[in-house]
Amino acid sequence: MSTLTAVGNLARELDCDIFCAVVDNFGDIGVCWRLARQLQAGHGWRVRLFVDDLTVFHALCPEVDASLARQEASGVVIEHWHEPMHAGDTLDIADVVIEAFACEIPHTYIAAMARREREPVWINLEYLSGEDWVADFHMRPSPHPRYPLSKSFFFPGIGAGTGGVIKEHDLDARRQQFDANAWWSERVGIERPDAAKTVVSLFAYENPAVDALLAQWRDGSSPVVLLVPEGRISGAIARFFGVPKFAAGTSAKAGALEAHALGFVEQPRFDELLWAADINFVRGEDSFVRAQWAMKPFVWHIYPQADDAHLPKLDAALDHITQSLQAPARDAMRAFWHAWNGAGTPDWAAFWVHRRELEARAAQWAQELAAIGDLAGNLVAHVNTRIGS
Ligand code: TRH
């Protein structure tokens, strides 16, 4: 879908530059890459993505060649932002400039933005938070101290009045068409487990609570099939089963628990893991959002911040997601998420006894979340009001 916007007296597709510095993990580029593709494919923008770490990007998009200075993938131009002052081979300023997560865009680029005949729309894309203050700060302008430029703070969120979260237009259709049987044989190499088994996907940081949980699954009365994408928690899984490593292709069994390690897949295929499982353990920002769109119960391992700044965000998300649950289910979910994030020991049985209620709420919550509008759509609407379509 292409949206033409009136720029001056010309109707044309908008150019957009996104700057992304990878702090750690996959979330920074994960969010930027998803947004870039959606602005391009869903809104017809011409998008250029500056990324400082192409090796991490390659994991999400194997088509990306980490040795190239400039390339194109999925219709998006990708520039290796190889040093902080680099702003592409030619200093070409886009209509819309997005600096992701307060990364510092090159001074030469900012100076050229100020010289541009028509002021670009400058957006600082913030990290996602479910906290209430986000709606008050969303889209607040901040004038540049030296240049005649103003930057707006775009706050993704899960509450009304925020920028929302990314959702592709075809996501629900892809989920509904998902062929679970084919997925199990291709990705796991076994038949899809029957309904008596609970399928758990586990994407998490190192987590001291994992041993207790693995032991509960092993000793539990109903079978659990655990799917673990290779990553930061794999070492703990290997130690639990007494194997040297839990790399893709490894399977292990103990009591009622069987576990399978999966390779890291390109980003558009990550959702399939969430659709295949009955409950998803996710982390960070992007997988947290995807779990909500999967409409399954999930547990969030939030990205830990200094001084426990992440804990109010965890509680704010719980407030939204548990709203309208009955008190016993709400309390159990809150206790389980807290335990998974360092406060207490997780009690799987006390949590999963509410499975049916949690499933119903997950589907309902996805509808509520969709009602605040998707992030790319909200961003495009804002830009159009600024540029005047
Ligand atoms: O990797 P993360 O821990 O990223 C974090 C968060 O974004 C955090 O907010 C940020 O501050 C920190 O990085 C620097 O978790 P997240 O956000 O879920 O990103 C993981 C990405 O990896 C997501 O886009 C899904 C993707 N992924 C795949 O593409 N294939 C896979 O097989 C797996 C397991 C994940």
Q: What is the mean pLDDT of the chain?
A: 95
Domains of the chain: 4-167+373-388 (3.40.50), 171-370 (3.40.50)
Instruction: Looking at the CA of residue 268, tell me the nearest atom of ligand 1.
Output: 29
Nearest residue CA, atom 26 of ligand 1?
267
| C-alpha angle 240-188-66 in degrees, rounded to nearest 5 | 90
Q: Give the span between the Cα atoms of 181 and 332, in whole angstroms.
A: 32
- Cβ of 60 closer than 6 Å to ligand 1, yes or no, is yes
- Cβ of 186 closer than 6 Å to ligand 1, yes or no, is no
* Residue 388 pLDDT level (bands cut at 50, 70, 90): confident
Q: Give the span between the Cα atoms of 325 and 135, in whole angstroms.
A: 24
Residue 126 has pLDDT above 60, yes or no: yes
**What is the pLDDT at residue 9?**
47
Lowest mean pLDDT across 113-117, 306-310, 325-329: 306-310
Q: Is 285 a catalytic residue?
A: yes
Q: Give the span between the Cα atoms of 331 and 66, in whole angstroms.
A: 46
**What is the pLDDT at residue 160?**
95
- Cβ of 285 closer than 6 Å to ligand 1, yes or no, is yes
Q: 41 CA to middle of ligand 1, Å? A: 22
Q: Compute the average pLDDT of residues 290-319.
A: 96
- Cβ of 229 closer than 6 Å to ligand 1, yes or no, is yes
Q: Is 191 a catalytic residue?
A: no
Q: Give the span between the Cα atoms of 105 and 160, in whole angstroms.
A: 30
Nearest in space to 119 (alpha carbons), one of 88, 140, 96: 96
Nearest in space to 187 (alpha carbons), one of 310, 270, 104, 243: 270
Instruction: Looking at the CA of residue 287, tell me the nearest atom of ligand 1.
Output: 18
Q: 367 CA to middle of ligand 1, Å? A: 23
Q: Compute the average pLDDT of residues 208-220.
A: 98
Q: Give the span between the Cα atoms of 112 and 349, in whole angstroms.
A: 59
**What is the pLDDT at residue 4?**
58
- Cβ of 53 closer than 6 Å to ligand 1, yes or no, is no
Q: 389 CA to middle of ligand 1, Å? A: 35
* Residue 190 pLDDT level (bands cut at 50, 70, 90): very high
Residue 363 has pLDDT above 60, yes or no: yes
Nearest in space to 302 (alpha carbons), one of 134, 56, 130, 59: 130
Residue 46 has pLDDT above 90, yes or no: yes
Nearest residue CA, atom 30 of ligand 1?
265
More confident residue, 256 or 83: 256
Q: Compute the average pLDDT of residues 132-145.
A: 94
- Cβ of 203 closer than 6 Å to ligand 1, yes or no, is yes
From 53, 285, 286, 374, active-site residue: 285
pTM: 0.96
